[in-house]
Structure 1
Amino acid sequence: MVLKYKINEITKIAKELLQYSPYKIILFNGEMGVGKTTLIKELISQLGSKDRVSSPTFSLVNEYKIKDGIAYHFDFYRINDIEEVYQIGVDDYLYSNQWCFVEWPEKVQEILPKNATVVDIKKHLNDERTISVQ
């Protein structure tokens, strides 16, 4: 699935992504500032969370109550050693059968489950974005 959108269409894109994804683990690829966190915030909102969603850049993972469970939001941008990820108990999160949204998955690729949806986001000069979902 490939979609083009502007930031004011984020609600529609999030709904489509949740419907399209066969897995509860979604990996987000894209440059800094492309809108990964913004999209994840909307996904968590669409799942029924009333929590204030923020990037877990320093904590590595944030947890949000959603309608039918919990959503986990990971940001591995600052990871220097895979051991940091094991110390937070990453396997418990990834195999919890809860929603897991992962930014910078390339930093921890060797520990990620194969059953995950991969989202690539590109930002264009006109502020439009292209999202490719595999």
Structure 2
Amino acid sequence: MEAFNQYIPDEITMCRFGAKLMQIASNIPTDNGIIIYLNGDLGAGKTTLSRGMIQGLGYSGKVKSPTYTLVEEYHLTEKSIYHFDLYRLSDPEELEFMGIRDYFNAQSICLIEWSEKGRGLLPPADLIINIDYVDDARNVALLPNSREGKQILQLMKQIISSPS
């Protein structure tokens, strides 16, 4: 299945896109939770998209970048969202020390920025999101990497293409 691309002109649209994406992802049945890798240069909008996703499930507090803490946890009614930022990770083995495997379960959605820094210890993503600059805007590409990822992509295409 091919990627789904969406032009995102501003921060508000990025958050709305993230909210729609998370509403879909949170309803996909899975035994291992949903794992989403967020790729893009510094400042591309990974944390903004994550904020939209987390707030899209009803979290009303401040969503901050976990750059220094490695992970921020959001425990909602039916799901736990773990937002990882591995930018400052110096060695993937650090993930073992923090108990990385405990975060991946049927009730979790894991958003992982800079996933390449955890290569070898992270489970594969269900969905890979690539964010690229397009002048002052962004292009967001969704690439499925599992059966669950394909379901998310298919439903996202339906929602985006139908008139609202």
Match of 1:59 among 49, 69, 80: 69
What's the TM-score, normalizing by structure 2? 0.74
Identity %: 34
- Tell whether the 8 Å contact from 1:49 to 1:67 is kept in structure 2 after alignment: no
SS where residue 120 of structure 2 aligns? helix
Residue 6 of structure 1: how far off its partner (Å): 1.4
Q: Distance in 2 between matches of 1:114 and 1:83?
A: 17
Q: 1:18 Cα shift?
A: 2.7
Who is 1:44 aligned against? 54
Separation of aligned partners in 2, 1:2 and 1:65: 30
Secondary structure of the 2:119 match is helix
Structure 2: distance between partners of 1:123 and 1:71: 26
Q: Who is 1:132 aligned against?
A: 141
How well do the aligned residues superpose, as a CA RMSD in angstroms?
A: 1.8
Q: Does 16-25 or 114-123 show the bigger shift?
A: 16-25
Cα pair 1:15 1:43 within 8 Å, conserved: yes
1:9 paired residue among 13, 17, 20: 13
Distance, in Å, in 1 between the alignment partners of 2:131 and 2:78 is 27
State TM-score, norm by structure 1: 0.89
Instruction: Return closer, same or farther for 1:25/1:33 CA change in 2, 3 Å cut-off.
Output: same
What letter is aligned with 1:3? Q
Structure number with bigger Rg: 2
- The structure 2 residue matched to 1:18, chosen from 6, 19, 22, is 22
Deviation at 1:128, TM superposition (A): 1.2
How many aligned residue pairs are there? 133
CA distance in 2, matches of 1:113, 1:95: 11
Instruction: Check conservation: 2:37, 2:125, Cα contact below 8 A.
Output: no
Q: Which runs of 5+ in 2 are unaligned?
A: 144-164
Structure 1 window deviating more from structure 2 (48-57 vs 25-34): it is 48-57
The verdict on how the C-alpha distance between 1:57 and 1:110 changes in structure 2, with shifts beyond 3 A counting, is: same
Q: In the TM superposition, what is the alpha-carbon distance from 1:69 to its structure 2 partner?
A: 2.5
* CA 1:97–1:68: 2 relative to 1, 3 Å: closer
Q: Secondary structure at the match of 1:79?
A: coil
Give unpaired runs (5+ residues) of structure 1: none
Q: Distance in 1 between matches of 2:96 and 2:20?
A: 32
Q: CA deviation at 1:99?
A: 1.0
